[in-house]
């Protein structure tokens, strides 16, 4: 992991390069000068909605603020370049068609690696797997729908890796390819998976209103689909509403957040044990985690902390590491906002334990670690280790 400036440092550099005083930038972003000052010096974490507001005010993409914590002459960069090349030639796969049972096994393995947040191993297999899955679909008689669904699932894994490793341009390209493949499937569930990721690209860019429009459109299209499976509908509609919860809460729209959360809970009533389909996780436990995160985004960290305490004592048992890791990161953020610093560190430790590769590069995990470090926590060896793992400039 290579060192990179923290978002606060990037904000200060970009602001000064544009000749903006703190007061002018803070006013344009809708935050206080005091808050902006604390972000720049590292005593307050910068949240995704604030990043979006600052990026818009300075006319830069959000990734210019987050930075690239792991790029350079590294294994990750090489693997990402290989994936980028494979995605670019999406209609020109160089790979041969594998045996059906081998392809199915490899797709299942990729989906497992994604759920486990094992991004390095996943990146290692994705370029070849994308080519093989696409070659199979292109050669299938009459464009067999099941073969194209496999392509959609592999692109879903690729999106997760590109998104988590802070490659927004690659993530955008992957989503366009996934949408293209989904349209060949005649499978409304595959189209939901693609729409879920498409909304995610708007979420990453801080364009929450547009992301909500994607969600609403996908809900309407799926509900109109005559060939959707009634018994499975709740998983896909519920997943879309969970994406809506994130987007609406970051937009600070409490009414829309409550509406999406209410609908998600209704769909989750019959799914006590979370299921994973087409890279979408849904059920009562995952819905609770989205509710916790929404409280944080809406400026209610005390409510989030109240939800976090019992979840820490009895963690969900049916969720994959990528969801559990995100849960612990959100818990750490809530505890930081309530000045429970020892509890913050405890939650971060669990995130590193359950989903190390995701936690090392997750923007909010890095921000929480950075703020803890700045707040006179340098003598804590576990925190020092976490700071090193996130590649922070110390």
Q: Give the chain's length.
A: 394
Asked whether 274 and 281 are in contact (CB, 8 A), the reply is yes
For residue 95, give the DSSP letter: S
H-only helix segments in 18-61: 22-29, 33-41, 48-58
Give strand pairing partners of 282.
Answer: 275
Whole-angstrom distance, CA of residue 206 vs CA of residue 62: 7
Whole-angstrom distance, CA of residue 3 vs CA of residue 57: 27
Residue 2: what pLDDT?
47
CA–centroid distance for 76 within its chain: 18
The CATH number of the domain covering residues in 7-66: 1.10.260.40
Against a cut of 0.85, is the pTM above it? Answer: yes
Reported as a single tens digit per residue, the pLDDT across 346-367 is 999 999 999 999 998 899 999 9
- Residues carrying CATH 1.25.40.10, the chain: 75-299
Question: Which CATH architecture best describes the domain 300-394?
Answer: Alpha Horseshoe (1.25)
CATH 1.25.40.10 fits 75-299, yes or no: yes
Query: What is the arithmetic mean of pLDDT over 56-70?
Result: 80
Q: Which of 10-40 are b and which e, b meaning 16 or more Cβ less than 10 Å from the residue's Cβ?
A: bbbebbeeeeeebeebbeebebeeeebbbbb
Reported as a single tens digit per residue, the pLDDT across 188-203 is 999 999 999 999 999 9
Reported as a single tens digit per residue, the pLDDT across 162-190 is 999 889 999 999 999 999 999 999 899 99
Residue 206 φ/ψ region, left for φ over 0, alpha for ψ in the -120 to 50 degree band, beta for the rest: left
Query: What is the arithmetic mean of pLDDT over 95-120?
Result: 95
Query: What is the arithmetic mean of pLDDT over 111-125?
Result: 95
Q: Above 70 in pLDDT, residue 145?
A: yes
Neighbours of 97 (CB within 10 A): 18
- Look at 338 and 227; give whichever has higher pLDDT: 338
Residue 167 φ/ψ region, left for φ over 0, alpha for ψ in the -120 to 50 degree band, beta for the rest: beta
- Residues carrying CATH 1.10.260.40, the chain: 7-66
Q: What are phi and psi of 282, to 5 degrees?
A: -150, 145
Whole-angstrom distance, CA of residue 128 vs CA of residue 26: 47
Whole-angstrom distance, CA of residue 258 vs CA of residue 109: 36
Reported as a single tens digit per residue, the pLDDT across 210-269 is 999 999 999 999 998 866 666 689 999 999 999 999 999 999 999 999 999 999 999 999
Residue 74: what pLDDT?
54
Q: Above 60 in pLDDT, residue 337?
A: yes
Residue 378: what pLDDT?
58
Residue written as tokens 């923007």? 363
Residue 7: what pLDDT?
87
* CA dihedral angle for residue 375, residue 381, residue 382, residue 385, rounded to 10 degrees: 90
Query: What is the arithmetic mean of pLDDT over 11-15?
Result: 89
Both structure tokens of 35: 């808050």
Query: What is the arithmetic mean of pLDDT over 370-388?
Result: 76
Whole-angstrom distance, CA of residue 103 vs CA of residue 106: 5
| Percent of the chain at pLDDT exceeding 70 | 93
Whole-angstrom distance, CA of residue 162 vs CA of residue 32: 33
H-only helix segments in 251-355: 254-268, 284-297, 301-313, 321-337, 341-354
Both structure tokens of 325: 């890791």
């Amino acid at each position: 992991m290579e060192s990179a400036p923290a978002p606060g440092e990037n904000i200060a550099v970009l602001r000064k390069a544009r000749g903006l005083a703190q007061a002018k930038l803070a006013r344009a972003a809708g935050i206080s000068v005091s808050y902006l000052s604390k972000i720049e010096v590292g005593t307050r974490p910068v949240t995704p909605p604030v990043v979006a507001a600052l990026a818009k005010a300075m006319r830069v993409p959000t990734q210019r603020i987050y930075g690239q914590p792991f790029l350079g002459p590294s294994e990750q960069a090489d693997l990402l370049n290989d994936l980028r090349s494979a995605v670019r030639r999406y209609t020109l796969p160089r790979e041969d068609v594998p045996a059906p049972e081998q392809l199915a096994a490899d797709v299942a393995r990729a989906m497992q690696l994604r759920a486990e947040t094992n991004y390095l191993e996943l990146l290692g297999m994705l370029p070849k797997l994308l080519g093989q899955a696409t070659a199979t679909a292109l050669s299938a008689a009459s464009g067999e729908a099941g073969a194209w669904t496999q392509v959609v699932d592999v692109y879903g894994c690729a999106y997760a890796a590109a998104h988590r490793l802070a490659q927004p341009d690659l993530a955008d390209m992957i989503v366009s390819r996934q949408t293209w493949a989904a349209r060949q499937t005649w499978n409304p569930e595959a189209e939901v998976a693609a729409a879920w990721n498409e909304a995610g690209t708007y979420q990453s860019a801080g364009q929450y209103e547009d992301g909500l429009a994607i969600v609403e459109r996908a809900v309407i299209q799926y509900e109109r689909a005559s060939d959707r499976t009634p018994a499975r509908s709740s998983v896909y509609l519920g997943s879309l509403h969970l994406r809506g919860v994130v987007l609406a809460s970051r937009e600070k729209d409490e009414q829309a957040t409550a509406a999406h959360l209410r609908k998600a809970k209704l769909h989750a009533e019959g799914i006590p044990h979370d299921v994973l389909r087409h890279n979408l996780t849904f059920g009562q436990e995952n819905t609770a985690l989205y509710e916790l995160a929404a409280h944080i985004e809406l400026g209610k960290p005390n409510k989030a902390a109240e939800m976090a305490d019992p979840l820490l004592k009895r963690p969900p048992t049916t969720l994959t590491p990528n969801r559990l890791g995100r849960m612990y990161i959100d818990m750490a953020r809530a505890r930081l906002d309530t000045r429970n610093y020892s509890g913050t560190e405890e939650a971060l430790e669990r995130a590193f334990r359950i989903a190390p590769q995701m936690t090392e590069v997750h923007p909010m995990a890095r921000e929480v670690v950075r703020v803890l470090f700045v707040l006179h926590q340098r003598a804590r060896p576990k925190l020092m280790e976490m700071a090193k793992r996130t590649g922070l400039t110390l």
